[in-house]
Structure 1
Amino acid sequence: MTYKFALMTQAQAEMIAFSWHYDGEYAFYNMEADKDDLAEFLDTEQRGQSVFAITNDGELVGFVSVHQTDADTIDLGLGMKPGLTGNGTGRAFVTSILDFIESTFDPNRITLSVATFNARAIRVYEACGFDKWLRFNKTRTGVRSTSSH
């Protein structure tokens, strides 16, 4: 698969926010589950230059948000289209995101957070070089040194 990254449009943000719905415990990731996150995601100014749509053959398949937390660290958030999750493409998807982040922002470290119940995502992140670093409330944060990629 060839993934392409471009700044997210308002139409793409609205599609993700209102039509991407995850089942069962994964509903935790539905944009509508947190009104503050939803408002931020839908606000063009707050998205700014930090949220990218990911497409494959013109189809919107995911997104990644990028936040520089200090001079050396990028913290990212990501989402994959619900119908594509759990089918074995996660590692290629995450690897493409990491390649994009490294080539665009050149960080020394990449961090992310994931809900502790999301074992399949944790397996993917660990396979992509993330280490378990810190546990807080209901999430686990991973840290990845870009030199290991």
Structure 2
Amino acid sequence: MISSPLTFYVVPMEPQHAAEICEWSYKPPYNIYGWMSWEQMQALGVEFGDPQLRSRQYVSVVNGQGDLCGFAQLFPMEGVVRLGVGMRPDLCGHGMGHLFMKAIVQAARARYPEREIDLEVLTWNQRAIRAYQKCGFTITDTYERRTPTGNKPFYCMVYEE
């Protein structure tokens, strides 16, 4: 049984966190959010498999016991920090997403205090959209973007304090 509410903390992403994230398996239709193996990510030097990119842009989200609960990418853009987030699969769908996102927003605000905070989400992912809205994000745009399986519709959501 998962207890709620949890307190989430944002910490630097350690290599062991990155390796664990690569092993996560989501149930359909969320299985599109999986990663390649940790060994492949390191060999290719992509995303958090690149130690420098990992230290500059990626953080881990842990609970009070230090257990890995998720991660975030804080991607700096002109005047904006774009969030990419992932919650551990067994924690998804239990009503904790807004608390998870609040911790990430606080970390983004601390790192980039003058920037707007936004994220992109597939329009079908209503579970995530509800969590983002409960945290304070608002849909500001709809567009198609290329994905590994073709063009898909996305919302851009902006954090409003």
TM-score by length of 1: 0.85
Tell whether the 8 Å contact from 1:130 to 1:142 is kept in structure 2 after alignment: no
Q: Is the 8 A contact 1:76 1:110 kept in 2?
A: yes
Matches within 5 A, 1:134-149: 134-136=142-144, 137-145=151-159, 148-149=160-161
1:75 aligns with 2:89: no
* 1:109 Cα deviation after fit: 1.0
User: Per-residue deviation at 1:130?
Assistant: 2.0
The question of 1:126 aligning with 2:133 is answered yes
Richer in helix (by share)? 1
Which aligned pairs between 1:12-51 and structure 2 lie closer than 5 A? 12-17=17-22, 19-32=23-36, 39-51=46-58
User: 5+ unaligned residues in a row in structure 1: which ranges?
Assistant: none
In structure 2, the residue corresponding to 1:86 is in which secondary structure? coil
- The answer to whether the 8 Å contact 2:99/2:135 transfers is no
Shift of 1:44: 1.3
Listed as ranges, the gaps of 5+ residues in structure 2 are 1-5, 145-150
Does the CA-based 8 Å contact 1:75-1:110 persist in structure 2?
Answer: yes
Return 59-68 or 106-115, whichever deviates more.
106-115
Alpha-carbon distance, 1:96 to partner: 1.6
Residue 138 of structure 1 aligns with an amino acid whose one-letter code is K
Change (3 A) 1:58 1:40: same
Distance in 2 separating the partners of 1:38 and 1:95: 30
- Tell me what 2:148 maps to: none
* Closer/same/farther in 2, CA of residues 139 and 78 from structure 1, 3 Å limit: farther
Corresponding residue for 2:68? 60
Tell whether the 8 Å contact from 2:121 to 2:129 is kept in structure 1 after alignment: yes
TM-score normalised by length of structure 2: 0.79
Task: Please tell me the residue identity of whatever aligns with 1:29.
Answer: Y
Aligned residues: 144
Q: Aligned partner of 1:63: which letter?
A: F
Q: Does 1:107 align with 2:114?
A: yes
Distance (Å, rounded) in 2 between the aligned partners of 1:62 and 1:139: 25
CA RMSD of aligned residues (A): 2.2
Shift of 1:9: 1.1
* Whole-angstrom distance in 1 between the partners of 2:153 and 2:45: 19
